[in-house]
Amino acid sequence: MNISWEAATVLIGGVATLAIYSFLIKENPFYRFFEHLFIGIAAGFLPVYTIKSFFWPRVLEPMLGYHIQVYPDGTPTAEYDTKILFYILPMLFGLLYYFIYSTRFSWLSKLVIGFSLGYSGGLAFKGFFAEMVPQLTSSFKPLLVPGESGMDWAMSFQNMFFVFTLLAVMYYFFFTFQRKSVAGDGVAASGRWLMMVCFGAFFGSTVMARMALLVERLQFLLHDWFNEISGII
């Protein structure tokens, strides 16, 4: 029997899927085998991809001068750019991560972890304004929308409702002062109800997402895998 690589890929995919589904009956060695294989494979390609896609072409290759080729007459295609040697500093600094395994010098790894926390903090300022300014400006919706003939009351109501929901939900989260008025309580309560509508939409969407995963796997088993199996039989 001659099985092509494509067929073998589909067949093993089906076996792997069934192994995982066997967990629905009971935890078993078949499931455990494939579970550990999954973790191993998942951990296997990240370091290689990081080196392949970033570290080699961006740092090591130019640092070692491997990107410089030689023309047929022996002259080099480019001159060595010494600027790249500056990257030795972040490389050495990054190596401090590995002191995490030392009991005595583990504090050194905190230098580089702190540095990473610092730069994500620094980046966050720009990120915040770039993301939130359009969000805030689009929240100021016109409460009365002029239509072709007079007011567009449907649109106006929609905008009013939008702005009310936004303010009510924000108001609900103001815990820094005590609400004393009945109106304030009412607004906060309606904020909670409207938030429930939002969470309902979330819940409905979550069901859809989870079911999509199940349907895709069953589609694979019932079509691709079944066709391969029946082809072999």
Partner 1 sequence: MEENYRKTLIKILTFLGGIYFFVEFILPKAVLEKIGVAEHHSFISYGFIVVGSMAVGLGIINLFMVHGSRIIFRRKDWFSSVVLLVGLLVMMFATVSDWRSGLRITSETRKWTLLGEFTEVIEKDFNEKKEGVPSLDVRVNALLESIDQNAQQTSKLLKSKQGASRIPKQEPKFVLAQSYAKQIANMQQAVLSDSKELEASFDTETPDFAPFAPLRQSLDQLGVTVGKFLQLHYEYSGVRQTYNFLFHGLFVSLGSAMFSLLGVYIAAAAFRAFRVKTLESSLMMIAAVIVMLGQIPFYVYIYDGLPLWRQWLLEVPNSAAFRAIKIGASVAGLVMAFRMWFSIESESFADDTPGESA
Partner 2 sequence: MKATLGRRLIYLFMMLVVSVPLITNYTVRPAEMKAANQFYSLVENLSVGPNDIAFVAFDFGPNTKAENEPQAEVIVEHLMRKRIPLAVFTQYAQAEGFLTSIPERVAERLMKEMPGEKWEYGQDWVNLGFRPGGALFVQAVAKSTNIAKELDKDAFGASLLQIPAIQNVRTLENVKLLTQFTGLVGVFDTYIQFFQNENYVPSFGHGCTSITIPEAYIYLDSGQLSGLLEGIAGAAWYSELLLQNNPQRAPDAALVINTALGVAHLAVIALIILGNLVAFVGSQRRPS
173 binds, options partner 1, partner 2, none, Cβ within 5 to 8 A by partner type: partner 1
Q: Which is nearer to partner 1, 71 or 177 (CB)?
A: 71
Nearest to 228 by CA among 1, 38, 14: 14
Amino acid, res. 80: Y
CA gap 115, 61 in Å, rounded: 26
Residues within the interface to partner 2 (CB under 8 A): 24-25, 42, 45-46, 49-50, 52-54, 57-58, 123, 126-128, 130-131, 134-135, 137-138, 198, 201-202, 205-209, 211-219, 222-223
If you search the block for the tokens 């590995």, which residue do you land on? 98
Query: Of 192-231, which residues contact partner 1 (CB under 8 A)?
Result: 192-201, 203-208, 210-217, 220
Q: Which does 28 bind (CB under 5 to 8 A by kind): partner 1, partner 2, none?
A: none
Buried b / exposed e across 95-130, counting CB within 10 Å, b at 16+?
Answer: ebeebeeeeeeeebbeebeeeeeeeeeeeeeeeeee
Rule CB under 8 A: choose which of 3, 30, 32, 144 binds partner 1.
32
CB of 194 to partner 2, least distance (A): 13
Residue (28 or 205) nearer to partner 2, CB: 205
Return the sign of the alpha-carbon dihedral for residues 17, 19, 25, 26: negative
Contact characters 50-89, partner 1, x per CB under 8 A:
xxx-xx--xx---------x-xxxxx-x-----x--xx-x
Beta carbon of residue 2, minimum distance to partner 2 (angstroms, whole number): 23
User: Between residues 72 and 149, which has the closer beta carbon with respect to partner 1?
Assistant: 72
Using DSSP's 3-state secondary structure scheme, residue 134 falls into: helix
Q: Which among 177, 163, 172 has a CA at the least distance from the CA of 190?
A: 172
Contact 13, 41 (CB under 8 A): no
Residue number with CB closer to partner 1 (78 or 151): 78
Cβ–Cβ < 8 Å for 162, 141: yes
Closest-CA residue to 217 (of 13, 27, 42, 28) = 13
* Residue 222 touches which of partner 1, partner 2, none (Cβ within 5-8 Å per kind): partner 2
CB of 56 to partner 2, least distance (A): 9
Bridge partners (DSSP) listed for residue 76: 70
